Chain A
Amino acid sequence: MDLRNTWDKWPDANGRFGEFGGRYVAETLMPLVLELEAEYRKAKQDPAFAAEMQDLWTHYVGRPSPLYFAERLTEHFGGAKIYFKRDELNHTGAHKINNCLGQVLLARRMGKKRIIAETGAGQHGVATATICARFGLECVVFMGETDVERQKPNVFRMRLLGAKIVPVSSGTGTLKDAMNEALRDWVTNVETTFYCIGTAAGPHPYPEIVRDFQSVIGKEARAQILEREGRLPDAVMACIGGGSNAIGLFHPFIDDEDVRLIGVEAAGHGIETGMHAAALNGGRPGILHGNRTYLLQTDDGQIIDAHSISAGLDYPGIGPEHAFLRDMGRAEYLSCTDDEALEAFQLCTRLEGIIPALEPAHAIARVGEVAKDLGKDGLLILNMCGRGDKDVFSVAKALGMDI
């Protein structure tokens, strides 16, 4: 299924999406990112690479994921028909594995035997550890101390899978610090190591690579909705941390000008409180982790810690292509507070019998308004990018329950 579109011209040769993106890395890493880009161009042309990926997607990950009509949620809101793209049914329980699989196959082509990754909620770490177990590769996962604490089930899963977890206490001990530490490891172990980045950010070519691998979500969803409803949706929605599940859903629809692309950022305690993770709604352009994009930062260019109940959205930046889509006016970016996400988490669980991860619960919290806005004849797809098993402890805690 090859759905090329006019937006494939981004990123340009310099790795830019308009004025965002780029390769802002230490010189030690420049030859590596250039080599990765060259290797990726070759892999993209290689039918054997695509075939290997497709085979594993089908038989190991369980793709295509279903497109499900969320009937009771639709009735509840009384607006547009709401479909869920069920990427939480993938092996390991989230969309992250789509990308990990692709990147680890690339690493194997490049002869790298050691894979490192950063993780926030632990979903990318689990997915990376899983693929590394599958291929017998060494796996080291950097995770902020705070996140190690609030995502215990995933930490244990990664250990079971044979990964080494490095709790990161430098800086403020969250996802951004885990990414700093992974970059420090990479700069130290350049010969042996492949850095498997989990979100559509980082230096070029990572935002492009992650987008391409995650675009399987949107490609499938587009074909599935055409088959089910005989037409394209009026809107597609996804939560945004770094933005990998959202760009994967959005990208195959970018040329369909009548399809609204709606991302939902984490507003934490509320954007006005300063305690949030909404880089697009509450940040400004800057340079971090290899790319120029919207960032939470002080007036002096120091990075501000993000805050979200969802560890997967708790990042002060955003993928550069989202920054571009926003400034071009092609995509809309809403936000949702911790409390709203918790409510949506429970609502979806009760009405649909699907426990969503806290990340997509942010998108669910805004779906009612969008559905009403579109009206009864409307049609929308929401990416259920992860399941909520990992979050039951933190949700119980937030609701004041002891389990």
Chain B
Amino acid sequence: MGRTRIEAAFAKARSESRAVLVAYLMAGDPDLEASYSALCALRDNGADIIELGAPFTDPMADGAAIQKAGLRALANGTRLTDVIALAARFRKDDQTTPLILMGYANPVHSMGYLTFAEAAAKAGIDGSIIVDLPPEEDAPLRAIYAQYGLSVIRLATPTTDEHRAAKVSEGASGFIYFVAVTGVTGAGSADPAAIAGQVAMVKRVSGLPVCVGFGVKSGAQAAEMAKIADGVVVGSAFVEKAGDAHATGRFEAAAPAMGALAHELRVAIDFVRKA
């Protein structure tokens, strides 16, 4: 198999001496049409990789912003099949931007790992981050993903020591998502100096690019993280834009607002020149 879209995205950023911007949005919030526009706006404004959130009723690793986004998406009837269809729609006109499904195990388990992997690969999804499937539990999914060329993206955290980093790296591909704080999404913010050593350790042990997320909301914070990692993940701040659009009832306002934030983040990240 040739280079994956994820590998290509990192290679491109490296050739431009910069970190990648990974943007998260909740599919179906405020509705699927707005999510499609948001995907395009994020891509057009510099997001290198997009995480497509799949809603779940019980997101126990998420803070208030993403919890509410998930409930809004579910309230308007978003199903896992809709999330996959949204990816397929985006992929029709975009062959390069990696799409990563991010969510919890039960909806995927409920669909069946094989059915899901088949549908995801066909839709042009590149991999997944399943928050509650640690390496100890994702072997069945991993075996199926290998057949479909999908990446298993794992999380490393401040509780990950070198021994654990080796475990996290087993069978992982694409990149490692380093969770900067012990806590839920959108809460607190990390001190880049405090995690820089650990990020470097995870990169060395895994041999994969490392993207840092959790608590990154502004351009300034993103720039700080870009100095110590291969990429920066921003989630809750984008999701809040969708929440604002929902609150005002002007769903069409979500995509431009998310695009503007992506632009701000990307400018800040680009400012940090990487070797």
Interface residues of A, Cβ cutoff 8 Å to B: 14, 22-32, 170-171, 176-177, 179-180, 183-184, 187-191, 286-290, 292, 295, 297, 299-303
Contact = CB atoms under 8 A, between A and B. Distances in A.
Interface in B138-178: 154-161, 164, 168
A70 B108 CA distance: 49
B134 interface: yes
Given A171-B67, A176-B58, A27 B106 contact: no
27 contacts: A23-B136, A24-B134, A26-B157, A27-B154, A27-B155, A27-B156, A28-B159, A30-B134, A30-B136, A31-B161, A171-B67, A171-B71, A176-B58, A179-B60, A180-B58, A183-B61, A184-B61, A184-B63, A187-B60, A188-B182, A286-B109, A286-B110, A292-B109, A301-B106, A301-B110, A302-B56, A303-B58
Contact of B137 (A23, A31, A188, A289): A23
A31 B105 CA distance: 19
Contacts of B56: 301-302
B136 A171 contact: no
A299 B81 CA distance: 12
Interface in B177-230: 179, 182-184, 187
A289 B60 CA distance: 8
B26 interface: no
A34 to B, nearest CB: 9
Contacts of A189: 182
| Listed residue (A31, A190, A289, A301) with the most chain B CB atoms within 10 angstroms of its CB | A301
- Interface residues of B toward A: which range? 35 or more
B132 interface: yes
Given A180-B60, A300-B79, 10 more contacts: A25-B132, A25-B134, A28-B155, A30-B164, A171-B67, A287-B104, A287-B132, A300-B107, A300-B110, A301-B110
B106 A287 contact: yes
A187 B182 contact: yes
B11 interface: no
B268 interface: no
Contacts of A191: 182
Contact of A187 (B55, B104, B111, B184): B184
Nearest to A189: B182
Interface string B221-248: 0000000000000000000000000000
Given A24-B134, A25-B134, A28-B159, A188 B184 contact: yes
Nearest to B111: A301
B67 A31 contact: no
Contacts of A295: 106
| Nearest 8 CB-CB pairings of A with B | A301-B110, A301-B107, A188-B183, A27-B155, A28-B157, A287-B105, A183-B60, A26-B61
A300 B80 contact: yes
| Listed residue (A170, A177, A191, A302) with the most chain B CB atoms within 10 angstroms of its CB | A302
Nearest to B158: A28
